[in-house]
Structure 1
């Protein structure tokens, strides 16, 4: 069974979102997603300053099995990317909730409430 931290919010497209103390939102892919992908070998991140709509493609994660798009769980502007993933994409497999992809300044933080909670996300994965 996948690890699904209760303090995070989840998109049906398998991204997690964490509201930070400064009001920014950190985004990564879930344990379920990295398990389905297999060994991650490459991550394409969005550019800092890029404005994203909720559900818009933000990047790509590639594994030995497949490539998968990464989507923005909420609308906002990218304020940071995890450059360490360029040299160590396998960190996504080792620690999917620590190997974040990017941070954004949300256009409307209330959009986080529209994402799935841990129980709902886990139920969608089990269905």
Structure 2
């Protein structure tokens, strides 16, 4: 980092770098289903926006928290239907920090307009990190 006060965060999707179960390739839509935003899975949008990436980032936050992959053992149709209908999101452990949980769940919002921007996410993560240093 050139400037520790303004780190540069880079998000990448390596899910398509190898064949992986759950990767959608048909209909012009590409991505790994468990990390895909509902609007992409439903076909309501084919636009990859910041808000689509925010949704995926929220799932990555859950992975960092738990060390697991979301929805193990579930079939593709159930995962897709649950995400699209807003009835399925990864289960948050009871021991999860409330601020982390709140941020993560806001990233999963069914409505893309309700998801935070990466600028907001960055500010919240910095605030959480600063609070930990104080303790």
Q: TM-score, normalised by structure 1?
A: 0.33
Name which one, 1 or 2, has greater alpha-carbon Rg.
2
Q: Which has the higher contact order (CA 8 A, sep 6+)?
A: 1
More strand by share: 1
TM-score when scaled to structure 2? 0.32
